[in-house]
Amino acid sequence: MIELTLAEIAKAVDGQLFVPETFSDKKISSIVTDSRAYFHSENSLFFALIGPRNDGHNYIPELIEKGISAFVVSGKKSVSQDAAFISVDNTTAALQKLAATNRSKFNYPVVGITGSNGKTIVKEWLFELLSESFHIVRNPKSYNSQVGVPLSVLLMDNNYNLGIFEAGISKLDEMQNLAQIIKPDIGILTNIGDAHQENFNSKKHKTLEKLKLFKSTDRLIFRVDNKEVKQIAEAFCKANTIQKTSWSLNGNTAEINFNSEKINGATKLTAKTENEIYHFTIPFTDESSVENACHCFAAMLLLAREQEKILPKFENLSPVAMRLEIKKGINNCLLVNDYYNSDFTSLSIALSVLHQQAKKNFHKKVLILSDIQQTGIPSEKLYKQVSELISGWNIDEIIGIGPDIYSQQNLFTGKKKFYISLTEFERDFNRTNFSNSAILIKGAREFKLEQISAMLELKVHQTVLEINMNALVNNLNVFRSLLKPKTKIMVMVKAFSYGSGDVELAKLLQFQHVDYLAVAVADEGVELRNAGIKTPIVVMNPESHSFQLLIDYRLEPNIYSYELLCDFIKIFRQNVLKDFPVHLKLDTGMNRLGLKTEDEILKVMQLISENSGLKIQSVFSHLAASDEAEFDNFTKIQIETFEKFADIISNELSYPIDRHILNSAGIERFPQKQYEMVRLGIGLYGVSVTGLPLENISTLKSTVSQVKTVKAGETVGYGRKGQMEKNSKVAIVPMGYADGLDRKLGNKNGEAVIKGKRVPIIGNICMDMLMLDVSDVDVQPGDEVEFFGDEITIEDLAKKANTIAYEILTGISQRVKRVYLYE
């Protein structure tokens, strides 16, 4: 971003500037919207954005303390003597205006990309293909939203000579804003999916909305093989006098005609334009990769001069793993892997994830960083910034790899080591140098830092459960949208977060400001506290031997009986504490734990009032059949009973308490009964009873160990249950019932997905292995196999195994490694 004065910014965002008298004239060179991010406080301007649940204005006092002294706020919020304020109507709109102003200062070409699928891949591939020909500025990762796009466009400055920005929308009328900001000269319309989407009622409607990004472009690239999309795009170009670069893979009339041929895991492409024929190869065979590569080719033709130099680069395109992975490492280390791109902004994002994950239980934070490439900034200036960023995040040790960073090593302080190349690093590598550390591995693709990850990774079983952290946040927000802004959320992280791994999830939930976490037993709570979780934690099943532990770790017990309370108080009295929170559980018809009668409740209340160190934080009850319409009358009676008892309790107290009865299905079906808090469980993990737009968060995966031919008449597996009717190909996969895959799924009842195709499980599932009939698929050892995920849902699987999604999720064995993905 270029430097601007506050007055210039106020003008750009139509805001009113309030500056304290003593304030010196300062220049702004970085924009902050997340109070938890690291910032160079002196030149930073904080935009107090208002989200559905979070209001940036709440963090202003804290940020002033941290040294930020300039804010964009909505309305005339608290003008302070210590800071300058720009007051606007809407802070998000102001951020967008500022980005649009920044955009208008540069006339180098900008490519705009939108569509339902492939946006990020096309953007990243174009970056890979063109980064020797241009200095490119682009969205970090997939920052393509109403806030992500302005933040990306604000990165434009004179160091670059090409912009590539993707735009994504989830609601109507969002694209106009993004079009104003990106103002693309060349547009690319990627694949428009068929999937039904919340806010668009047809494919046509969806296409028209997306096209709004290109209203003032000179040229649009699009594929003509879908009739509907072709017609809409052509009419759009005509109406807005936009030149077309249309293309086809199926022989339809177009400016570019592609031909594809699959050979040995690669696809050879021939492109015919009016005057020329081009050949190139990509290392993929799937249809979306071929389509994305064709888009890139078309854009390359328009942008680049030295096409012969670029064409060979198609052969080295890599899968775009935009995701940051978190894995367990050797010697108690944690690995945060992000080795597919390296630029300053994504380094900053990755460091914030490292910080979030590294709380307490790791002694050190280590960064392994390659050269940062193609920034256009002189090396010395760049690595000085990197060095400041790193000390801002309190990194204990840096390991730099690559000639540039090697030559700038004097700019770094603290514990450090630098290597000219990966080979040098490997020569010096000693496992014992890495222990009890949280390690971020971050670098440009060509440095192949995945090899370092492979050296540091804890090797267990090839079977993994991938947890998509972005989907988890999405699901949390979907539920938040059903709640009033003030309603608190308790997230149930019992049973290892429904099998999804507790500590990592709890850290993310804390980061997302959930109000409470709930675990089943004290030990689970202690583990979370040891990992640095400060969010209040309720223990649903407090056992008497753990009472002192509860008190020491400030874990709040669920009091479900008079006897339990008596036992707890015996231990509690040995401590001197005030206002220690407890929660009263009422039994309103589940007939599980809980106080069932008014007498019992009053007895408990009496005892609590005699112990002034205790405070009733909440009263709650649990619904027995919140997901089943046939029992709605029963549910209503439960709710009435709860209200009656809760009133009795409130009336006895001189302070307010929280009331809560809704679990996930309850939130979906009885949102009017949310009271002061709700308890979210299975919904967060992707299961909805009413069809909410939740995303799947977990994918159970393994890899093929061996492929063999089995002749007709032979059998597969124990008990000779897998009878082969014809000559077949069988894949053996290291996943069995000991991993938590239900044995009932054997004998063609269950399926797996390989290379996009569903294949049946044949024969009995063994303890550690199973066999798949892969006769119709081209399968090699090492190929990935998916048992549940986006394709086969957990609910499908539960039905086949004659159980419920809860049991499938919590049944995945602990020996299956959990891998956490961030986009």
Ligand X SMILES: *Cc1c(COP(=O)(O)O)cnc(C)c1O
Task: Name the DSSP class of 47.
Answer: E
In the list 681, 722, 734, 789, the residue contacting ligand X (rule: CB under 6 A) is 681
Give 591 or 654: the residue with its C-beta nearer to ligand X. 591
CB of 53 to ligand X, least distance (A): 19
Listed residue (670, 570, 676, 528) closest to 616, CA to CA: 676
Q: How far apart are CA 502 and CA 499, in angstroms?
A: 8
CB-hemisphere CA count at 13 Å for 463? 23
Helix residue spans in 469-617 (DSSP H)? 469-480, 494-498, 502-511, 522-530, 547-552, 562-572, 598-610
Paired strand residues for 652: none
Q: How far apart are CA 777 and CA 584, in angstroms?
A: 57
Binding mask 605-634 for ligand X (x = CB under 6 A): -----------------x------------
Q: By CB under 6 A, which span of 176-184, 410-418, 430-438, 658-666 interacts with ligand X?
A: 658-666
Nearest Cα to Cα of residue 233 among 203, 265, 198:
203
Closest approach of Cβ 653 to ligand X, in Å?
22
CB 810 within 8 A of CB 496: yes
Closest residue to bound ligand X by CB: 681
N-term to C-term CA, the chain: 24
Identify residues 491-530 at the interface with ligand X (CB under 6 A).
Answer: 492
- Stretch near ligand X under the rule CB under 6 A, chosen from 308-316, 394-402, 480-488, 663-671: 663-671
Tokens 């082969």 label which residue?
724
Which CB sits closer to ligand X, 126 or 491? Answer: 491
- The position carrying tokens 């699987």 is 797
Give the tokens for residue 687: 């299961």
Stretch that binds ligand X, among 650-658, 660-668, 691-699, 722-730 (CB under 6 A): 660-668
Annotated catalytic residue: which of 76, 262, 718, 799? 718
Angle at 57 between CA 56 and CA 59, to 5 degrees: 75
> Could you tell me the smallest distance in angstroms from the CB atom of residue 489 to ligand X?
11
- Figure out which of the listed residues 245, 664, 674, 696 binds ligand X, where binding follows CB under 6 A: 664
Q: What is the torsional sign of CA 223, 224, 226, 231?
A: positive
What span, in angstroms and rounded, lies between the C-alpha atoms of 581 and 615?
Answer: 5
Query: Does the annotation mark 486 as catalytic?
Result: no
Minimum Å gap between C-beta 622 and ligand X is 4
The DSSP H or E segment spanning 365 is strand 364-370
Q: Which of residues 465 and 540 has its CB atom nearest to ligand X in the complex?
A: 540
Residue 817 binds to ligand X (criterion: CB under 6 A)? no
CB of 658 to ligand X, least distance (A): 14
As a whole number of angstroms, the distance between CA 244 and CA 10 comes to: 39
Cβ closer to ligand X: 295 or 585? 585
CB of 628 to ligand X, least distance (A): 12
Look up tokens 């993929």; give the residue: 284
Q: Which is nearer to ligand X, 208 or 625 (CB)?
A: 625
CB of 425 to ligand X, least distance (A): 46
Contact status, residue 604 vs residue 559, Cβ threshold 8 Å: yes
Whole-angstrom distance, CA of residue 753 vs CA of residue 789: 10
Sites for ligand X among residues 475-494 (CB under 6 A):
492
Question: How many C-beta atoms surround the C-beta of residue 285 within 10 A?
Answer: 16
Task: Report if residue 682 touches ligand X, rule: CB under 6 A.
Answer: yes
Residues 42-61 touching ligand X, rule: CB under 6 A, are: none
Give the shortest CB-688-to-ligand X separation in angstroms: 10
Nearer to ligand X, 155 or 540 (CB): 540
| Minimum CB–partner distance for residue 492 and ligand X (Å) | 4
Question: How far apart (Å, rounded) are the C-alpha atoms in residues 555 and 580?
Answer: 9
Binding ligand X (rule: CB under 6 A), the pick from 45, 68, 449, 540 is 540
Q: Which stretch binds ligand X (CB under 6 A): 32-40, 141-149, 369-377, 680-688?
A: 680-688
Cβ-based neighbour number of residue 296 at 10 Å: 28
Looking up tokens 């698929």, which residue turns up? 777
**What is the distance between the alpha carbons of residues 47 and 62, in angstroms, rounded to a whole number?**
14
Q: 661 vs 136, 478, 627, 822, CA distance in Å?
A: 53, 19, 13, 32
- Name the residue nearer to ligand X (CB basis): 370 or 535: 535
Give the pair of three-digit tokens for residue 154.
Answer: 């604000």
Q: Which is nearer to ligand X, 525 or 683 (CB)?
A: 683
Three-class secondary structure of residue 127 per DSSP: helix
Residue 281 or 558 with smaller CB distance to ligand X? 558
Give strand pairing partners of 133.
none
Stretch that binds ligand X, among 410-418, 456-464, 601-609, 679-687 (CB under 6 A): 679-687
Give residues 388-447 in contact with ligand X (rule: CB under 6 A).
none
Stretch that binds ligand X, among 314-322, 349-357, 505-513, 674-682 (CB under 6 A): 674-682
Among 679, 701, 817, 818, binds ligand X (CB under 6 A): 679
Q: Does 97 bind ligand X (CB under 6 A)?
A: no
Nearer to ligand X, 375 or 618 (CB): 618
Stretch of 135-143, 315-323, 677-685, 815-823 contacting ligand X, by CB under 6 A: 677-685
Q: Binding residue for ligand X (CB under 6 A) from 663, 674, 698, 728?
A: 663
Instruction: Give min distance, CB of 54 to ligand X, in A.
Output: 23
Under rule CB under 6 A, which residues in 182-241 are in contact with ligand X?
Answer: none
Interface with ligand X: number of residues (CB under 6 A)? 10
Q: How far is the CB of 632 from ligand X (least distance, A)?
A: 16
Least separation in angstroms between CB 196 and ligand X: 25
- Closest to ligand X by CB, 217 or 621: 621
Cβ proximity to ligand X: between 126 and 678 the closer is 678
Task: List % helix, strand, coil for the chain (3-state, nearest 5).
Answer: 35, 25, 40
Q: Return the range that interacts with ligand X (CB under 6 A); candidates 28-36, 56-64, 233-241, 662-670.
A: 662-670
Are 73 and 88 within 8 A, CB to CB? yes
Contacts for 209 with CB less than 8 Å, ≥ 6 apart: 169, 172, 175, 200
Q: For the chain, how many residues are written? A: 823
The question of whether 615 is a catalytic residue gets the answer no
Q: Which is nearer to ligand X, 353 or 537 (CB)?
A: 537
Residue 663 C-beta: closest distance to ligand X, Å:
3
Query: What is the C-alpha to C-alpha distance for residues 547 and 558, in angstroms, rounded to an integer?
Result: 11
Select which of 494, 507, 596, 817 is catalytic. Answer: 494
Q: Strand, helix or coil at 346?
A: helix
| Assigned token pair, 807 | 């049991």
Radius of gyration of the chain (CA): 29
Best CA proximity match to 31, nearest among 90, 127, 111, 102: 102
The residue range among 30-38, 172-180, 570-578, 675-683 that interacts with ligand X, by the rule CB under 6 A, is 675-683
Task: List residues binding ligand X (CB under 6 A).
Answer: 492, 540, 622, 663-665, 679, 681-683
Positions marked active-site: 494, 718
